[in-house]
Amino acid sequence: MQETPGEALTADVLRTRSDPEDIPFESTAELEGLTEIPGQERAREALHFATGIRVNGHNVYVMGRSGSGRHEFVRHFLEQEAAGRQVPQDWCYVYNFDDPRQPRALSLPPGRSQELRDDLEQVIGDARTGIPAAFESEDFQAQRESIAEALKEAQESAVREIEEEARGHDVGVLQTPNGIAFVPIREGEALSPEEFKALPDDEQESFNDNIGHLTQRLQTVMRSMPKKASETRRQIRKLEKDVAGLAVAALVEDLEGKYADLPEVIEHLERMQEDIVENVTLFLPRAEGAAAAEAAAGLTDPGHPSPEKRYAVNVLVNHANSEGAPVVFSDRPMFSDLLGRIEHETEFGSLVTHFNLIQAGALHCANGGYLVLDAEKLLAYPQAWDGLKRALKSRELRIRSLADEIGMLNTVSLDPEPIPLEVKIVLIGERRWYYLLSEHDPEFSELFKVQADFEDEMVRSKANVELLARWLATIIQREGLRHLSRDGMARLVEENARRAGDRERLTTDLHYATDLLREAHYWAGQGSSELVDAAEIQLAVDARVRRGSRVRDRIQEDLIRETMLVETEGVRVGQVNGLAVLQLGELAFGRPQRITAAVTLGAGKVVDIE
């Protein structure tokens, strides 16, 4: 078999140098900045499609290598897109007067939730002073005393009637420690038991009949007293409600006019007004230490918190200062930070919660806009991925604790009303996570139907070189670095192509280019140069190689000292010299290897080498 030798490569073919004369500027100071990352037209088209289509399930997975500027690209694109969209509604939670365990969710125009919270704080503060003042007024006290006096007069009148009837039967009425007692009298003096026994039998029987009749009448009167007392309390309660209703109505009336365009708020204000009247004692002064004593005795009612908590507004999302749709980047997408949480506080030694302790998650803040998440971090947190999928499929946000989610605890807690969800999710991660999720999670392809694949390389053309130079000019202006000269840019392009491993391509690893620029800025400062030239770029490259080349240098030393022998002459059957490329961090280098082939007698069967 005749062998055809390969064509030897010359040095100029291995590395294509950039001619500084091809760079159309003296320095990057002449260039206009570039806000978009160069070479990512495919990803830009995908994002434009995903943000433009208003169909459920068209969320985006942005994939590519680390360092390609995915986060910055997505941030800039979404901020531009969100600026032209409508600011979403505010969301807040308020007390549910029908079921305190299920706080109500209210949707308000942007900024109105904060106004409502401040207005209700003012109302409750005014009620704290207005209601006690109304109850201490002379008119109220007079009406209350009149009702109490009526009961007292009725009781005394009934007892007087019995006393008058008793006197007509020569029976006296005595107040004893055990109550009222009837005794026979003669000439104004009560008869002793011996004197009563000395009376004739018919007189004794007459006295006994009269005393029995009077006792029955007294019992009838005494049995009617609780009913009359209850009626008196009802009248006093009605009086208190009337007075409290007038005091609260004056405070709420202005708010009803202010929020007349929001029916849900008006309904809440009406229910709040009714509840204040029903629980007016919450606003009245209490004896010092009474709250602590009740808590120690276990008499506190968690369903009746203080007025400041009961009638407050828990502003979950406030867009008062927002312009356009929200763009939220969550760098810690754990379950509670993503979907919200219900916090607890210690009260008299016990953990309690109420609707004011409901906290928003990243999905609440991004509702009506865009939420950007790191795929690897999202998958690392327990239940975060499942919680996100459930929210996207149900299109509503339901706040639950992680313990309830996985069934560890079954405690009585709050169950806030769900909030409708309309959000576009942008996942950013490596390609392997995209393909693993596509393969092993059937719901992934239903929820993330758009992929934005970042290019690893771009063509080494004059247009792309200029775009790269404009991008670097933007970084220079932003960070106050020294500008690149024409020679410096040409050397940076050469290094960029070497990084891509293709003389006709440029890498899109912008982090590498910008880091090299920053280090060259340092070396230019050391040499007091006004511009970053090719020499400074070379110094930065050499310094990076020097910092990471310890292992490579030891291997080369072994070759020089012949600790490692490599035969370069003669012939060996089934053996050939080769070069293995090792990648240790940022540095790649070659290591000589002996490649051998072993041949053995087979079993006479066809062998599939795959």
Residue 295: is its pLDDT beyond 50?
Answer: no
| Mean predicted confidence (pLDDT) in 441-462 | 93
C-alpha–C-alpha distance, residues 413 and 433, integer Å = 36
Three-state SS at 575: strand
Three-state SS at 51: helix
pLDDT bin (cut points 50, 70, 90) of residue 80 is very high
Question: What is the fold, at CATH topology level, of the domain defined by 14-38+457-548?
Answer: Helicase, Ruva Protein; domain 3 (1.10.8)
- CB neighbours of residue 254 within 10 Å: 11
Residue 7 main-chain phi, psi, to 5 deg: -80, 130
Those residues with Cβ within 8 angstroms of residue 482's Cβ, 6 or more apart along the chain or in another chain: 476, 521, 524, 525, 529, 530, 531, 532
Q: In the 3-class helix/strand/coil scheme, how is 491-558 assigned residue by residue?
A: HHHHHHHHHHCCCCEEECCHHHHHHHHHHHHHHHHHCCCCCECHHHHHHHHHHHHHHHCHHHHHHHHH
- Is-contact 325 372, C-beta < 8 A? no
Higher per-residue confidence, 216 vs 522: 522
C-alpha–C-alpha distance, residues 350 and 66, integer Å = 48
pLDDT bin (cut points 50, 70, 90) of residue 239 is confident
C-alpha–C-alpha distance, residues 539 and 535, integer Å = 6
The residue ranges of every structural domain in the chain are: 14-38+457-548, 40-88+322-454, 110-289+303-308, 551-596
pLDDT in tens, 39-56: 899 999 999 999 998 888
Rg value, the chain, Cα? 44
Residue 286: is its pLDDT beyond 70?
Answer: no
pLDDT in tens, 205-234: 776 777 677 677 766 767 777 777 777 777
| Mean predicted confidence (pLDDT) in 67-76 | 90
Q: Is 347 exposed, middle or buried (0-12, 13-18, 19+ CB in 10 A)?
A: middle
- Is-contact 255 269, C-beta < 8 A? yes
pLDDT bin (cut points 50, 70, 90) of residue 440 is very high
C-alpha–C-alpha distance, residues 385 and 378, integer Å = 6
- Is-contact 123 251, C-beta < 8 A? yes
> What is the structure's pLDDT at 432?
94
Higher per-residue confidence, 306 vs 452: 452
| Mean predicted confidence (pLDDT) in 530-552 | 93
Tokens linked to 586: 């940022």
Question: CA-CA distances (angstroms) from residue 580 to 40, 499, 561, 577, 589?
Answer: 33, 18, 20, 10, 8
| Percent of the chain with pLDDT strictly greater than 90 | 46
| Mean predicted confidence (pLDDT) in 255-262 | 90
pLDDT in tens, 323-362: 999 999 998 999 999 999 998 888 777 788 889 999 999 9
pLDDT bin (cut points 50, 70, 90) of residue 192 is low
- CB neighbours of residue 479 within 10 Å: 11
507, amino acid identity: T
> What is the structure's pLDDT at 370?
95
> What is the structure's pLDDT at 198?
67
Higher per-residue confidence, 182 vs 516: 516
| Mean predicted confidence (pLDDT) in 85-104 | 93
Residue 379: is its pLDDT beyond 50?
Answer: yes
| Mean predicted confidence (pLDDT) in 465-488 | 93
Residue 574: is its pLDDT beyond 80?
Answer: yes
pLDDT in tens, 112-168: 999 999 999 999 988 888 888 887 877 877 777 777 777 677 766 766 676 666 666
Tracing tokens 């904060």 back to the chain, one arrives at: 114
> What is the structure's pLDDT at 187?
63
Class of CATH domain 40-88+322-454: alpha beta
Angle at 242 between CA 241 and CA 243, to 5 degrees: 90
Q: Mean pLDDT of all residues in the chain?
A: 85
Mean pLDDT: which of 89-93, 252-256, 572-576 is highest?
A: 89-93
Residue 296: is its pLDDT beyond 50?
Answer: no
Answer yes or no: pTM beyond 0.85: no
pLDDT in tens, 391-438: 999 999 999 887 777 766 666 678 899 999 999 999 999 999 999 999
